[in-house]
Amino acid sequence: MTTPVPDPTASFATAQVQAGYVPGVAQNTAVVPIYQSNGYEFPSLAHARDVFALRSLGNVYSRNANPTQAVFEQRIAALEGGRAAVAVSSGQAAAAAAILALASAGDHVVAARQLYGGTVDLLSDSLGSLGIEVTYVDQDDTDAWRDAVRPSTRAFFAETITNPLATVLDIRAVADVAHAAGVPLIVDNTVASPYLVRPGEHGADIVIHSATKYIGGHGVALGGVVVDIGSFDFGADPGRWPQFTTPYPRFGDLVLWDRFGEQGLALVIYIKTRFVHDFGTTLPAWSSFQLLQGLETLDLRMQRHSASALAVARFLEQHPAVEKVWHPGLASSPWHATTQRYLPRGASSVFSFDLAGTGDADADDRRVEQVIDALRVIRLVANIGDARSMVNHPASMTHLHLTAEQLREAGISPRTIRLSIGLEDETDLIADLAQALA
């Protein structure tokens, strides 16, 4: 190993900036290091020119890429069985980047109406204001997916396990309709995680995650990731995908699909060089490191999460104060068969239940508030996938911006309470719910 030797003739100001460090020297650490650097030194101008022009791949500036982040991206891509991944600052940024990479003004997306409220905000408001139209369909109705397709359609979008009602997507059925229409299926796999299901094995082409949730698992770092499974051939219909099949203006005559298609890098490089670069949706090195720490125990945590959540759901299903439990692991669930097909390892730990109604809306609202406020072990937090168990009221919190019709179509009522079961002892969680319901 090269040992940097301070130049004894260097002035104080020069030494305080440069002494003791040689760029590029490996330190053989067993744990992924935190590369806390904004920029990277180039060995020559010729090399810098090649990297900036994408003739060679390498680190330029940490807004686009960072070595700690690169390890995280490679690890998630491997766990999802994908070709490549790009990490961004949040799950919302991942959803935006995946859709914007495929659709622009005048284009159209078909999405499941059983989506997280923040995703509906993104699709309907922010992307809508950019001229991207969205049609929402019942995710269980394959004919509805098929009928919604237009010549301008550029993607299908759905979640594997939905938030908050834990409905389960028939991935293969929706993927087949998408591919028949010539468009990729984007699947948000946040609630399931790649341990419980890998959507790419069932036909999904692009998988996204809010790494803030189960991938991190500790509730201390935000992050998102887009994984290109590598199954969709953008070159098969070049007229539909000019962003990949015609020269990329900011890089001269470079055609992404020609240069990077076989490597499975065209989509992620487009996202990095356009949306991450332009919008600054950067995942910091420190956050990448924290998410990597959580990722190392993902399988163990998901086993515990899933088992405890099913035990809690079974308790709630038998409670007289509960009208309905939305957990796909229960035999009574309409998605039980789909769960057994796609989620044999467990159905994760985000699900909801509806309190029994009284016929008086005001009384029902008070009852919901009393139950939530009476919980002591389960905390009122607008997050999921944490080590801690959390409760949420979708209609007035995460899905507040949905219209009454959208809430009804999504199956969310004012009496719906969402749970995210953590890693505590399940008997303590059940006891907490029992005393709150009483």
All residue ranges of the chain with pLDDT < 70 are: 1-9, 12, 15-17, 19-20
E-strand ranges in 79-152 read 84-88, 108-112, 133-137
Query: What does DSSP assign to residue 39?
Result: B
DSSP secondary-structure letter at 162?
-
Q: Which CATH class is domain 298-437?
A: alpha beta
Six-digit token string for 409: 């179509």
Q: How far apart are CA 297 and CA 307, in angstroms?
A: 16
> For residue 65, how many other CB atoms are within 10 A of its CB?
22
> 298-437: same fold as 45-49+61-294?
no
164 prior amide bond cis, ω within 30: yes
Report pLDDT for 1: 38
Domain boundaries along the sequence of the chain: 45-49+61-294, 298-437
Task: Give domain 45-49+61-294's CATH architecture.
Answer: 3-Layer(aba) Sandwich (3.40)
**pLDDT tens digits along 222-281:** 999 999 999 999 999 999 999 999 999 999 999 999 999 999 999 999 999 999 999 999
pTM comes to 0.94
What is the model's pLDDT at position 9? 63
d(Cα 91, Cα 150) in Å, to the nearest integer? 27
Q: Which of 34, 39, 40, 96 is nearest to 71 (CA)?
A: 34
pLDDT computed for residue 29 by the predictor: 86
CA atoms of 246 and 238, how far apart (whole Å): 8
pLDDT computed for residue 7 by the predictor: 61
Coil, strand, or helix at residue 135?
A: strand
182-225 per-position pLDDT tens digit: 999 999 999 999 999 999 999 999 999 999 999 999 999 999 99
- DSSP assignment of 194-234 equals HHH--GGGGT-SEEEEETTTTTT-SSS---EEEEE-S---G
From residue 103, alpha-carbon distances to 96, 128, 242, 274, 302 in Å are 10, 11, 11, 13, 34
Round to whole Å and give the CA distance between 266 and 282. 19
Residue 273 tokens, joined: 């060089």
